[in-house]
Amino acid sequence: MSDEKSNRNESVENISDFALESAASELASSEKKRKKLGFVAAAFFVALTLAAIVSTRLGGSGTPPPLGEIVDVDKLPVIYPDYLETTFPVNIAPPNFRIEEDGDRFWTRVSGSVGGESTISGRDVRFPMQKWRRLAEQNAGGRLEIEIYVRKNGVWSKYRTFGVGVSPDRIDPFVAYRLIEPGYEFGRRIELAQRSLETYRESIFFDNRASATSPCVNCHSFQNRQTDRFLFHFRRSDAPQESGTIVVENGEARKVDARLEAAAVSCSYPAWRPTGDLVVFSANKTRQYFHSLSSQKIEVYDFFSDLVLYDAKTDELTPISQTDADFETFPTWAPDGKKLYFCSARVELEALSPENATLDEAAKTKKLEDEAKLRTKDFRYNIMRATFDEKTRTFGPTETVVDAASRGRSALHPRVSPDGRFLAYTQIESGTFPIWRPEADLYLLDLATGETRPWDEVNGENADSYHTWDSSGRWLVLSSRREDGQYTRLYFAHVDENGRATKPFALPQKDPTSDRRRFKSYNIPELIAEPIDVDVRELTRAAAETATRRTAP
């Protein structure tokens, strides 16, 4: 009995052990299942998230439009930036754009006239870099046809196909510019930047915040579009003695005291001679005043303006023109360095008359400044030219190239094309500062024939002002306020051998709308053939040092 009992007990124990074991194994297996399920669910969510990210990145909110259900819309689509019928250089970064039409799905097909095709879905049309490069290379000299489909309320519409040209002429791969908020008296953050046109990479090579008083930095200029020699100005209004010109040669920077002592004025608007060590500056005394109601908001005027020759080797400054009655400014060299172009205005100011000769310097300056302010609208600049003798470093007699004053206009910013055939300039009604003049337009003078014409192909509705040619002379960059009248943006146009230009296109951006959110102007664009490779520290160090001159003034 006791054995039975003990056996039973044993079996009960065995059963319970078994039950426990099986329960435990069941628990373990269900735990495993749960883990597996959890893993699957996690993987699913990860995959879902990744898919969402990928689809967002690709802008993939739509599928190709079904054929047969498409309504043709007889109008060109609105896109930003406006790339309709523009021409791109073959080496440009993908010109992404945004479709500004109402709709819930978007689909774009780009096909080359020679070959190749790319389709992109989404409102933002962002070309993959490699795909774009292949497409551009393949169709260099041809066209890309762009079809845009938009789905709205379940109906797909196809807008009129437009094309963009692809020019085999390569543009200089970099552009240097100043990024500045269009403030009037306060430059908190002024940056000198360079941007690769073949990619979207922008880098800052000088930032004024590094300096103790956030000075104004401006007027960067490169010798012959190369970056081993360039300069820019560094101005401190609170401490003019600490202002100077930063001259960079082969990666080494120094601050030069480029001031015209006689007139107590710093030099600006530099122009490197294409070869050698010479730079021509314009020494200006500049002021500004404001209009509270006029559509022109601001007027900037000079009340002193002369040209100065600077030798980068010796730091010697030699005045070129010292005429009170003529204001000379905006010098630029012919590509061969044998001629100097500049702007000149004849001013007949009472303050400069012999009766005022007895006034002390401060009173004279004040009188001059006040009178110039009232008479700004009478100042009209012509474009002049003078030959240059390199041996004697002297300039020959001047001749008028563009007589704008006699037409009641002011011609500024002359720029000669690298082949020396064309002279592009800006024309406004009066004065010296086109960027604040809505009427500012580019003009083109054929130096061979002497014919001048408004350059309508490149002009926009608002101020079109600063422009430079690239090394090949086939591309032109200009700064323009055509977008909103306030923020200057960069535009590029192709120019053929007869001076015919294509419709300018805006600087391509990776995020096509990023320039809409950038509250800065792109200022003084200079196309350069190579990147600027100077240590920021070197520039900042030079900016902090005292401006000197190798040759005593």
Partner 1 sequence: MNSTKTTNDENRANKRRVSKMELLATFAFFVANWIFWGVRYDDFLFVSQENSLFLFRWDFFLDWIGTPGGFLGYLTAFFLQFSYFPLLGGAIWAFWGTALHWTTAKTLNLRGVGYVFSFLPSCCLIVSATWVGYEVYIPFNASLIYNGFVGATLATAAFAGFRSIKSCRARLLFALGVGSFAYPGFGFWAAFFLFICGLDEATTRWASDAQFSEEQISKKRILSAPTRRAIALTASAAIIPLAWYYFKYFSCIKFCNFWIQGLIDDVRDKPYVVSAFSYGFASLAAFFYATTLVFSKILGNRAAKNAGRGKKSKRDREKTANARILNDKTFEKTSKKSNVKASEKGADVDEAETARRLERAAAKSRTRLFWELTAVVWAATFAISYRPATFFSVLASTRALADGDWERVLESESRLTQPNVQNVALRNLALFETGALAEKAFERPISGLSTSRISEIDLNRAQAGSSYYRCKFWLDALALESESSSRRASIETIFCYYGRSNIAARIATDNFVATEGRSASCLKTLAICATINGEKNLARRYLNVLAETLFYRNWANERLAFLETEDFRRGIRDSLDDAEYAARLKEREDAAPTRESIENAARRFGVDSENLRKIAKKVEKARSLRPLKDAPTPKGYPNLTFFLNLFVDDFDDATPEVRELELVGALLQKNGDFFLKHVDKYLEERGFAKGGAPKAIEEGLATWRFSAFGDDWDKIEYQFRPETVAGLTAFTNFVNSVQDSNSPSAQAQIREYCAGTYWGFGADQSIYEYQN
Interface residues toward partner 1, by CB under 8 A: 181-189, 204, 206-207, 209-212, 214, 290-298, 377, 429-430, 483-487, 511, 514, 516-517, 519, 536-537, 540
Nearer to partner 1, 238 or 355 (CB): 238
CB of 177 to partner 1, least distance (A): 17
Sign of the C-alpha dihedral, residues 216, 219, 223, 227? positive
CB of 520 to partner 1, least distance (A): 9
CA distance 94 to 128: 8
Contact 213, 187 (CB under 8 A): no
* Residue 514 CB burial class (10 angstroms; 0-12, 13-18, ≥19): exposed
CA distance 302 to 323: 14
Nearer to partner 1, 311 or 429 (CB): 429
Nearer to partner 1, 91 or 509 (CB): 509
CB of 250 to partner 1, least distance (A): 21
What tokens does 140 get?
Answer: 């260099």
CB of 444 to partner 1, least distance (A): 25
Sign of the C-alpha dihedral, residues 497, 500, 504, 510? negative
Nearer to partner 1, 448 or 519 (CB): 519
Sheet containing 298-311, strands listed edge to edge, beginning at the edge strand earlier in sequence: 259-260, 265-272, 278-290, 298-311, 316-319
CA distance 251 to 274: 19
With CA atoms as reference, report the closest residue to 483 among 444, 453, 522, 511: 522
Nearer to partner 1, 101 or 181 (CB): 181
Nearer to partner 1, 188 or 453 (CB): 188
For residue 504, is the peptide bond before it cis, meaning its omega torsion is within 30 degrees of 0? no
Nearer to partner 1, 167 or 430 (CB): 430
CA distance 219 to 200: 24
For residue 388, count other CB atoms closer than 10 A to its CB.
21
Nearer to partner 1, 291 or 313 (CB): 291
CB of 377 to partner 1, least distance (A): 6
CB of 350 to partner 1, least distance (A): 15
CB of 288 to partner 1, least distance (A): 10
CB of 513 to partner 1, least distance (A): 9
CB of 381 to partner 1, least distance (A): 16
Nearer to partner 1, 50 or 204 (CB): 204
Question: Alpha carbon 221 to chain centroid distance?
Answer: 15
Going through 403-545 in order, the beta strands assigned E by DSSP cover: 410-416, 422-428, 441-446, 452-454, 464-469, 475-480, 489-494, 505-506, 521-528
For residue 421, count other CB atoms closer than 10 A to its CB.
17
